Structure 1
Amino acid sequence: MKRIKVLIADDETIVRRGLKMAVDWSAYNMEVVADVPNGERGWEEFVQHEPEVVITDIVMPVVNGIEFVKKIKQHAPKTKVLLLSCHRDFEYAQEGIKLGVSGYLLKTSFHDEELDQYLRAFQKELMIHREAEGIEQQKFLFYEDFFQWLCGFQNQFQEVLVDLFRNEWKWMNDGYYACFIRSESRLHLILQDIDQKIPNPHVKILCGKEQCFLFLNENYKEMMEQMFMDVKSTYEELYWITSGELFSIEQWIDSVKSMKQFAELEIKYKVTINNWPKTIKEAILYTMNHLSEPIVVSEVAEMVGLSRSHFSMLFKKIIGESFHSFTERRKLELAMQMLQTTSLTIQEVAEHIGISNSKYFSKWFKKCTGTTPSEYREKQCGTLYKTN
């Protein structure tokens, strides 16, 4: 297990050496990564090592302990800081408390038990924090793998899916319902309501900021539908589509992909997709599943059994735009989704919508949106994804 890094700052060499040598740091899963004589050196070492625990004297030359702590808390507010001082003046302690320090010890009178209590408390809090960060990171990676897989990328997601069906999602083998939910501003409230009203087991998989897949026991389908109807009656901006009853991984995969495609089309065109002519529905679903390949209108028309001219006329009449325009728009929307929700490189995003040259892709993207792919990603995600 990764050790907790500790930095010691004190202008008295004997104090630094004493703390470093006398304390059994390994007992707390800790290691001293640096010991320094003042706050200036302390800050240099802090930036280099990023310790999670800092033990510092208050009165030191060049930069004192209080100024050192101010910098630490501005840079990394969750750092555990323990103040040392020869002074009994509680003004030091009060100032430290205002800065958010975790404790205060008198060098001349503290007992080993006091330091032990602090170090054990730090160890417990930091390990809980690490576990929470690890869980969040795992969720983030899972969501990213899921979204990439949903967009058609070959990755390890289906292997993960098999493992889930054998373990955490084993209950799905006895029957489950799948649901795709979209709400531009109330999704988090809807998901909170689901957690409160629908007992476990159920699974939520976020897909961007406004969309989520929900999988639940068949016994709660009617309850879920009623919840959505209640929300819809007072707040119109809610869309959902269900699929089930399902029993297998294969059905899970088919339902997720088809629900996502149908939902995107129905939301975009404000129609029920089943009302479209079969030829148009087949053409659109084929297009959405082959965006990484060259799509030729004459070949699609032949596939659905129509001449090119008849197909083009019918498509524009039903959809309201040309087939070429629809394909370009869908590619752009998919590229924007991938830039916003994955860490794929610009080249990989380009290839996934059938463009092999990243420079051409960037030029096309800017023509369509007014910004380059990198600028769009930066605006949407900040520095979360910085890829070329």
Structure 2
Amino acid sequence: MEILHPNDTLTRIEINSPQRYLLLPIEESQPEVQVRLVGDRPEDTWLDIRLAVDSIDYYVPLALPEGKSPATVEIIGLDRTAISYEKIQLADTFDTSAKDYYRPAYHHSPTYGWMNDPNGMIYKDGVYHLYYQYNPYGLKWGNMYWGHSSSRDLIHWEHHDLALARDTLGHIFSGNAILDKQGTAGFGKDAILAYYTAHNTHAGKQWQAQCLAYSLDNGKTFTKYAGNPILTPFDGVSDFRDPKVFWYAPEKSWYMIVSADKEMRFYRSQDLKKWDYVSAFGEGYGARPNQFECPDFFQLTDETTGKEKWVMIVNINPGCAFGGSATEYFVGTFDGKEFVPETAPEIAHWLDFGKDHYALVTFHNTGARTIGIPWVSNWQYANVTPFKQTRGMNGLPRDLFLFTKDGTSYVGAHPSKEVEALRKE
């Protein structure tokens, strides 16, 4: 490597014989600087990384283009006296075998880096796919990608390469995935379609829009749709994210529910690419005035009455009754146009009363079961828990059910039957 400082703000690292990774030293207490791999791919964009200045907490790998020589990495904002320039390394491997003292023994967590919301959860051909909000370049929130793990039993997880990379449209925020059995979107039958939010800032203002990617190899790799973004807010609202797509049989249409500031909005589509606005719900309902995030929308059969009802999951932050982030829900009816809850506007129902339960969403394509997984943390302290290799984990899988008590509908959660595999004598 040759490290060049053409001016006071820019550093250029010329790598004449690239190996698989450039190992970047991280110091968590430092502010973010900008780093990018110079290239012509959409993912060759500026990343925000806390490069080490005085001491090193850990390393993260920046993957270099295979078979391409030379490679160039640019850095903006790092003082030329920083220890990073002495300790940066080339390597063909990145060791993830070291165990963080606090890393959970059986809850799902990435091998390194930061993780928050579960995304795109889908069941196909006997395999559960769990995608998740992921920063591979540090243990604090930032540089949002979709990580990817899979399991056949919801307990033992295999880790895979990144599924969706941050690109010139912005961070890859939360969303969901569906199985397009009929090839409605035009990418082929049984394609997995991933819907996600692109997040960026323009002229100091937040910009969010919904995007589409598709996989033809059972969720291993995704191709981003050339027509992205597929949905932008009609009123310019800046908080517009976390799409959830579901099938509504009476209308023979696909619907999308999206969080839009302090409400949820419904959209309808015939081709899974063009979406028309239908209605909104949430203004004045539940715990107020909190930010709506990470919606889910599905039907459950009431175990008490036998009636089928619609359930809307609303993850909200901040200001919950027990502090910070939490998962709220509403039970009601949906006629393809409007969702009408059974409860009065001032009533708030919580799915879980623990502080470490947020961003719960459910798997697509699981038949009669409705299986949810949350993120185990709270935005009050998520960035400062004492980890040094991986920060963030998922809760154990749970089957959701509906029941009635004293004339009111409630959603309950049983630990999924697969959890019994963890029990000892």
Shorter-normalised TM-score: what interval? under 0.3
Larger Rg: 1 or 2? 1
TM-score by length of 1: 0.26
TM-score by length of 2: 0.25
Higher relative contact order (CA 8 A, sep 6+): 2
Larger helix percent: 1
